[in-house]
């Protein structure tokens, strides 16, 4: 019985020694592996130079892009700086046109000399404005009898007309303008379409041809 008791503490001491020894060995292995890992992770001078060259190239590319953006913005500001002003000035043309329509529709003024002279003066002012616009690269869009172009025209209504090809502009509701190579505002227009009778006739003709 005493021998068994003596053996148990000895086993405990041996196990504790073994665990301590394992811990020391593990620490040694860790310390030994660290320098190797550092050596593997260490960047060579050539790689450092290449990395710096890449960073410099990216920096120069970004600087060049910024310079180009700045130049483009400067050119746009110079070329199209008056775009907003030009758009506002178009209100003068619109107001003149409205004034003419009001005077022409006034029953009391119809066929009077005063009306004719007033309309004459309004036409002169309108021509002078158009001339000033042209000198400053603000030009009216010619649209009548042309095919509808969504880049310059905006269709507001359709008018039945068998004499014109469908989609032909036959009415100008509001004049459009360009500023240099940019659209200032589109022309508001009315376009032609085939009459209902013509549509029915073409449908019947098509049906007859298919049956024959």
Global pTM value = 0.55
Give the Cα separation of 212 and 202 in Å (integer): 15
Q: Map residue 174 onto helix, strand or coil.
A: strand
Closest by CA to 87, choosing from 13, 195, 179, 180, is 179
Residue 142 domain flag: yes
CATH number at residue 163: 2.30.22.10
Other C-beta atoms lying within 10 Å of the C-beta of residue 185: 17
Tell me the per-residue pLDDT of 121-154, one tens digit each, with 9 for 90 and over: 999 998 998 888 888 888 899 999 999 999 999 9
Using CA atoms of 162, 163, 168, 169 in order, give the dihedral in degrees to the nearest 10. Answer: -110
Tell me the per-residue pLDDT of 154-208, one tens digit each, with 9 for 90 and over: 999 998 888 888 999 999 999 999 988 889 999 999 999 888 765 555 555 655 5
Residue 212 domain flag: yes
Residue 71 domain flag: no
Q: Looking at the 3D structure of the chain, how many domains does it have?
A: 1
Residue 155 domain flag: yes
Residue 164 domain flag: yes
Tell me the per-residue pLDDT of 23-82, one tens digit each, with 9 for 90 and over: 555 555 554 444 444 444 677 888 888 888 888 888 878 888 887 887 776 666 656 667
The domain of 157 spans 138-212
Within 8 A by CB and 6+ apart from 172, the residues are 143, 144, 187, 188, 189, 190
Give the number of residues written for the chain: 212
């Amino acid at each position: 019985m005493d021998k068994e008791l003596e053996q148990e503490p000895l086993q405990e001491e041996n196990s504790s020694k073994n665990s301590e020894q394992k811990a020391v060995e593990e620490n040694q292995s860790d310390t030994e592996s660290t320098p190797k890992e550092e050596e593997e992770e260490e960047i060579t001078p050539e790689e450092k130079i290449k990395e710096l060259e890449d960073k410099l190239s990216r920096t120069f590319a970004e600087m060049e892009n910024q310079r180009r953006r700045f130049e483009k913005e400067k050119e746009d500001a110079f070329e199209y700086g008056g775009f907003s002003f030009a758009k506002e000035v178009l209100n003068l043309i619109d107001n003149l046109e409205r004034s003419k329509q009001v005077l022409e529709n006034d029953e009391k003024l119809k066929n009077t000399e005063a009306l004719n002279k007033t309309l004459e003066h309004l036409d002169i002012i309108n021509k002078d404005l158009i001339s000033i616009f042209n000198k400053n690269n603000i030009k009216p869009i010619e649209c009548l009898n042309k095919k509808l172009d969504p880049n310059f025209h905006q269709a507001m209504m359709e008018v039945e007309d068998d004499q014109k090809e469908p989609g032909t502009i036959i009415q100008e509701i509001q004049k459009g303008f360009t500023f240099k190579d940019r659209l200032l505002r589109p022309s508001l227009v009315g376009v032609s379409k085939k009459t209902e009778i013509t549509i029915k006739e073409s449908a019947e003709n098509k049906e007859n041809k298919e049956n024959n």
